[in-house]
Amino acid sequence: MFTSTTRGVIALGAVLGLATLTGCADDTPAASADDGTGPVSVKATDSACDLSRRDVKSGTSTFSVSNGGSKVTEFYVYAEGDRVMGEVENIGPGLKRDLIVELPTGKYQAVCKPGMVGDGIRGDLTVAGGAAAQVDEDTLLKQATDSYQRYVNSQAVALEQKTTEFVTAVKAGDVAKAKALFPVSRTYWERIEPVAESFGDLDPKIDARVNDVEPGTEWTGYHRIEQALWVSNTTKGMEKYADQLLTDVKTVVAKAKVVKLNPLQLANGAKELLDEVATGKITGEEDRYSHTDLYDFQANVEGSQAAVQALRPALQARDAALVTSLDTNFKAVFAAVDKYREGDGFKPYQVSEAEKKELSRVVDGLAEPVSKVAGVIAKK
């Protein structure tokens, strides 16, 4: 449980001025971004990520993403080091969503992630036209928090959507579907766990393991339902926990959408996500009935990377060697967990002690440089 880093610092209530907006394109046609260049059309399928053009002008761009594949997909614009400039989550088959994003001059990657896992299908994106922005450090840090808050926002939206689907399957008595959705809905939770967990007692209600529960208190949340699904192979009796889960998740999502974070919280959150991997996921304690720990593992590391990479421009100016080390070690962790891929997900986490030790080694190797980020950011 991560109540510590954000203790007493997160102020609620201020709505973010979002630089990125996402919405369903079939509601209202997206307004043309600026000077008539028009949206970039993105045709996403299970095996391709085709952009109508790969050169855009600096300033605000719109990407109109349609999913022609059979898998739920995600679309990202990454700056160097997979720094998230903008993203749309949870685009179902046949759906179309817009990403509106502010992009300064530079080299980027446009990425579709069919099945929502892995490196995705990547292609270059060049932004030209404006002068390369010269910004001071305060601006870099402000951009970092803005960027990460956009990430939190989009994850929160997807968390609510996927949890709704999971809860619906549980209440419909569809055990197979509920089992399939369990690790997927948790992915969004795990990516932003430090933020979600900063909201006091919601975390234990949503994510407590059985031994985290005080005698006399009812065990609720994901893992309560997980136990029924995998141990008893049933959804019977889970209806009320499903309803409660969705209510609690909606509360978290509402709070996460308006959370105000500072750069140190990003850095500490990135570190805490790796602590979570080290203590809960590598040991297999998190998802002890479903053995879907590797989904959570991957999501924690992705969330950590999103926070670290948001800080990347500021870090690059202060400690370029640390940035190199972070890049190398994030790659090593993703490579290690990729060994366990199966289909669009992961094999059950029932691995040998030697394999656990290998995962532990790469996570420790990454956690050490990540733990140094806060100190570098705090330096005046």
Please give the Cα distance from 190 to 333 (Å, whole number): 16
What's the CA angle centered on 160, arms 79 and 166, to 5 degrees? 115
Strand 59-67 relative to strand 40-44, pairing = parallel
Which of the stretches 1-9, 73-81, 150-158, 184-192 binds other proteins when contact is defined by CB under 8 A? 1-9
Picking from 308, 337, 340, the residue whose alpha carbon sits closest to that of residue 324 is 308
Tokens representing residue 222 in the block: 């994901």
Which residues 6+ apart lie within 8 Å of 109 measured at CB? Answer: 76, 77, 78, 82, 122, 123, 124, 125
- By CB under 8 A, tell whether 361 contacts other proteins: yes
- Cβ-based nearer residue to other proteins, 27 or 380: 380
- By CB under 8 A, tell whether 368 contacts other proteins: yes
Q: Which of 46, 212, 239, 344 binds other proteins (CB under 8 A)?
A: 212
Tell me, by CB under 8 A, how many residues bind other proteins. Answer: 32
Question: Rounded to the nearest whole angstrom, what is the least distance from the CB of residue 102 to other proteins in the complex?
Answer: 32
- 270 Rama class: left (phi>0) / alpha (psi -120 to 50) / beta: alpha
- Cβ-based nearer residue to other proteins, 6 or 155: 6
Q: Which of 136, 211, 321, 343 binds other proteins (CB under 8 A)?
A: 211
Please give the Cα distance from 271 to 370 (Å, whole number): 6
Question: Rounded to the nearest whole angstrom, what is the least distance from the CB of residue 378 to other proteins in the complex?
Answer: 9
- By CB under 8 A, tell whether 380 contacts other proteins: no
Q: Which of 179, 224, 255, 271 binds other proteins (CB under 8 A)?
A: 271
Q: How far is CA 167 from the centre of its chain?
A: 20
Which of the stretches 74-82, 331-339, 341-349, 363-371 binds other proteins when contact is defined by CB under 8 A? 363-371
SS3 124: strand
Q: How many CA atoms lie within 13 A of 356 on its CB side?
A: 15
Q: Which of 91, 169, 206, 374 binds other proteins (CB under 8 A)?
A: 374
C-alpha to C-alpha distances, 171 to 174, 223, 251, 289, 297, nearest whole angstrom: 8, 16, 20, 20, 27
- Cβ-based nearer residue to other proteins, 46 or 212: 212
- By CB under 8 A, tell whether 279 contacts other proteins: yes
Which positions lie near other proteins, rule CB under 8 A?
A: 1-5, 7-8, 211-215, 268, 271, 275, 278-279, 282-283, 285, 353, 356-357, 360-361, 364, 367-368, 370-371, 374-375
